[in-house]
Amino acid sequence: MDDDPKMSVSTDIATCVVSLDDRDLPRQAIDNAKTVILDTIGCTLAGCDEPVVRTLLRTPGLNTPGAVPLIGRGERLDPLCAALVNGAAAHALDFDDVNVAIGGHPSAPLLPALCALAEMSPCSGRDFLLAFITGFEVETRLARSVNFHHYEKGWHPTATLGVFGAAAACAKLLRLPADRVATALALCTSLASGTKANFGTMTKPFHVGHCARHGLMAALLAREGFTANPDAFEHKQGFFLVYNGVGHYDPALATRDWAAPLDIVAPGIGIKLYPCCDSTHPALDALFTMKKRHGFSADDVARMDVLVHPLRLLHVDRARLKTELDAKFSVQYCLARGLLDGRIGLDSFGAEARQEARLLDLMARTHAAPHPDLSLATEGNYLTELTVTLRDGGICHMRMDRPFGRRADEPAPPELIASKFDACAAKALPAETVACLREALSHLETLDDVRTLVRLSSR
């Protein structure tokens, strides 16, 4: 397929999308999908009343009433507005799952689009899972074609690649034929957007809602016979050349070894255990490991020095803060807060926490710099080294090549995933509803109607 000169990239991917069958899904794919769906709904519940969501709901044209429930809220919006708002809520706290190929967050673009579509076109849990896994595969395969140059140029891949995943997932749930799936994907080359310049502001979670909405819209337009250039990926003014440039992409990787194995199986899923930018997580893991191993406290520390891969340091080197979102993207803040509290949680980024005198003093003694030896970097570019200098002259040091719990053979512990969900969901729902929702999600593949889940998660 990859070598056929008559096949466009959009047609190539669409053929793969249509061919994927639920009989192709190993048990691990279903279990991993259920885990990240649980995690994404939890993060959406935790983020459902964040300022970005409230602002969107005040904005004319983005709050059109309809039948789709908002997760964690009482409003019902039309499908496109619901996908936008739920998508922004899913990413509002930067706590949703991550993926190495994308260099971003794979599930938040998919789930809000599919939940909105499931309200319009009721479906079983099994069909919903197949559509979700299909979208996950499309966005992660496309990521292999363009990353990490795409990421380094400043695109926000969660959005610029997530829109293709959302479109593919919705097209799969709608059972569109291959030519219309290809149209939806080609249309998304004109809808893909999001720059990393806006990290640390409301615009970053808006990117996710924006791409969920656009992915759903692309699939619906394709169903109605909308047209787009099937060569929109490889065209001389198409996605690959415009977004990446000559010599910085490989279209064949979008379908090579398609679903063999599925990306959601290997390398698998990545659950965030801290509600802050993923690029701070290796440093936090190193800090907590050394703190436990050596028994030092904040009073014992003279300074902290962290070396971070320059691709990741670019958006987490924030020695001075203006907002809560700034703090989530500051490795200096996260290390100082983590050292003071011995943890990083949902309550770690409020105004009072950011203004604490001890925190500000520690931040001033926390120094970040680009890692000088990129030969040590592994897939994902998480390379981080943390050195803690103690007041008695002692030095603690640790190098990390990825956060904990990010490999198929080293998953995040189920008990931590469950406790994260419960803590997130408790911000919006009573405890008995949280328990019912978690139980329903654990049996998602047996549900006759997925609308049950969305209604359980709304007020």
pLDDT in tens, 74-128: 999 999 999 999 999 999 999 999 998 999 999 999 999 999 999 999 999 999 9
Residues 117 and 20 in one domain: yes
Encode 427-454: b = buried (16+ Cβ within 10 Å), e = exposed: bbbeeebbeebbebbeebbebeebbbbb
Mean pLDDT for 58-70 is 97
Residues 317 and 369 in one domain: yes
Alpha-carbon distance 186 to 318, whole Å?
38
- 390 found inside a domain: yes
- Tally Cβ neighbours within 10 Å of residue 152: 16
Residues 6+ apart with CB under 8 A from 32: 264, 265, 268, 269
Are residues 347 and 285 in contact, defined by beta-carbon separation less than 8 angstroms?
Answer: no
- Tally Cβ neighbours within 10 Å of residue 399: 14
| pLDDT tens-digit series, residues 192-220 | 999 999 998 999 999 999 999 999 999 99
Alpha-carbon distance 147 to 151, whole Å?
6
Tell me the residue length of the chain: 459
Encode 276-305: b = buried (16+ Cβ within 10 Å), e = exposed: bbbbbbbbbbbbbebbeeeebebebbeebb
Per-residue pLDDT, 425: 97
Identify the CATH number of the domain in which residue 351 sits. Answer: 3.30.1330.120
Residues 357 and 424 in one domain: no
Residues 78 and 218 in one domain: yes
Per-residue pLDDT, 61: 96
Expressed as residue numbers, the domain containing 392 is 278-403
* Residue 338 scores a pLDDT above 90: yes
- 409 found inside a domain: no
Domain count within the chain: 2
Alpha-carbon distance 164 to 17, whole Å?
11
Phi-psi map region of 194: left, alpha, beta (phi>0 left; psi -120 to 50 alpha): left
Alpha-carbon distance 371 to 373, whole Å?
6
Indicate the residue type of 125: G
Tokens 């729902």 sit on residue: 429
- 408 found inside a domain: no
| pLDDT tens-digit series, residues 286-322 | 999 999 999 999 999 999 999 999 999 998 999 999 8
* Residue 1 scores a pLDDT above 90: no
Residues 451 and 429 in one domain: yes
Per-residue pLDDT, 326: 87
Whole-angstrom CA distances from 6 to 118, 152, 240 are: 35, 31, 18
Residues 435 and 299 in one domain: no
- 149 found inside a domain: yes
pTM for this prediction: 0.90
- 410 found inside a domain: no
Residues 124 and 29 in one domain: yes
Q: Is the preceding peptide bond at 226 cis, omega within 30 degrees of 0?
A: no
Identify the CATH number of the domain in which residue 130 sits. Answer: 1.10.4100.10
Give the chain's mean pLDDT: 95
- 1 found inside a domain: no
Sign of CA dihedral 170, 173, 175, 178: positive
Residues 200 and 307 in one domain: no
Residues 119 and 241 in one domain: yes
- 102 found inside a domain: yes
Per-residue pLDDT, 24: 87
- 45 found inside a domain: yes
Residues 122 and 171 in one domain: yes
Q: Which two tokens stand for residue 194?
A: 């999001």
| pLDDT tens-digit series, residues 228-285 | 999 999 999 999 999 999 999 999 999 999 999 999 999 999 999 999 999 999 999 9
Confidence grade of residue 413 (pLDDT, cut at 50, 70, 90): confident
Mean pLDDT for 367-384 is 94
Alpha-carbon distance 451 to 116, whole Å?
9
Residues 103 and 242 in one domain: yes
Are residues 370 and 309 in contact, defined by beta-carbon separation less than 8 angstroms?
Answer: yes
Per-residue pLDDT, 177: 98
Mean pLDDT for 443-447 is 96
Residues 81 and 106 in one domain: yes
Per-residue pLDDT, 357: 95
- Tally Cβ neighbours within 10 Å of residue 64: 12
Per-residue pLDDT, 138: 98
Mean pLDDT for 10-27 is 96
Residues 6+ apart with CB under 8 A from 286: 384, 385, 386, 398, 399, 400
- Tally Cβ neighbours within 10 Å of residue 345: 13
